[in-house]
Structure 1
C-alpha cells in the first residue's frame, strides 16, 4: 500500500507541491483502494508502480475473500453499524489481536470481522443477563457501548441493549435514560425554541413524541 507521502516520494515531488497539484486525480491514475469516506487514502503499490513505469495497471483481486483487510468503514458495514460504533467494538478481545495497521490506517481481516458479527451477544439468545450473573460488559464500558447502539438505532429498546451487551435491564435503562436526556439537552441548547417533546421526537426517543405523558420515562 502507498500513502500520499509515499506517492510524493515515488514521483520525487515535494509534499507541498503534491498536495496542491494532486497528481493522483489525473486521468488513468489508479483509484484509491480505501473505502468511501476514509480519513486516509491508500493506493495499491503494484498498481501505482505500473502506472509510473507506463505499463498496464493490473486489476485488483475481486473483493470478498476471507483474508481481505477491511478498514473501519468496511468493518462497520459488515456489522451493519455506524463507523463510530465500530470504534467501540474494535477493542473487543475477539478483534484487537487481529489489528493490522497499514499506512497509519487500522484494518482487520474480513473473516475475523464476520466471526465477530456472528458471535456477538444476542445472536443466540435475547434474554439479557442471566439471573445472578454480573453484567457481561464492564461497568466503565457500558456508557460507550450503549452510545454506539443508540447511534446505530436511536430507537433501540432496553431489551435490545440487554440482548446485545448481556447487561441487566436496570443497567440498560439507566444508560439509555442518561444518554437520551443528554441528547435532548444538546438539541435544546442548539435550538432554544424547541420544546422537550419536540427535541425528544427529533432524538427518536420512544414514547416521547407529541402527546406523550410528560413524566414518561426516557
Structure 2
C-alpha cells in the first residue's frame, strides 16, 4: 500500500510539473523538497515545500506567467506573476487554481487572488468568472459583481444579474442589469471597457471587500 501511495504522489507531481513547461518559473525537487528555477536553471526559490499541489501557466500579451501552489507542514504558498503569498493552515483549507486566478477556500467559503493580488476576502459562497474580467459572487442566496480590481460594482443583494450588451454599447462602456423584487437597476463598471485598445491596469487593492 505504501509503495502504491509513493507511486501516485511521484507521478502526480510529474503531471503537475508538466503543466508549467511554458512558465518563466518552473518547479524543481531536491532532497524531497520543492523550489523554483528559471529557464536557465538558476535557482530563484530554494527548495522549501514538501508538496507541489498544482500548477498552470497562462499567457497575457504574449508573455507567460506562472500560477503555482505549494504545501508545507503549516502553510500554503502561492506564486503568481513573480509574487509570493503565504497562507497558514488556520487561514485557508485549500487553493484551487484556474488560469490567472487562485480561489482560497476555508469552511466552504471562497476568496480570490487574481494575478498576484488578493482582491476578495474569504467570505463568499461562490465566485464565478464573468464578462469584462469581472466576477459574479454569491452570499446567502444573493448575488453581486466584483470587478478585476476587487471593487464591488453591484452590491451583493440582488436575485439575478446579467451583462447589458445594448446600453451605450457604442461608447464602449460596460454595464450590468440587476433584478430585485421585480425592479431592474443598471450598474456601470467604469474601470474597464470592451475595446481591446483599452487594457486594465493592475492595482494592489488588498483584501478590501
Which TM-score tier does this pair reach, normalised by the shorter chain? Answer: under 0.3
TM-score, length basis structure 1: 0.24
Q: Tell me which structure has the larger Cα radius of gyration.
A: 1
TM-score, length basis structure 2: 0.25
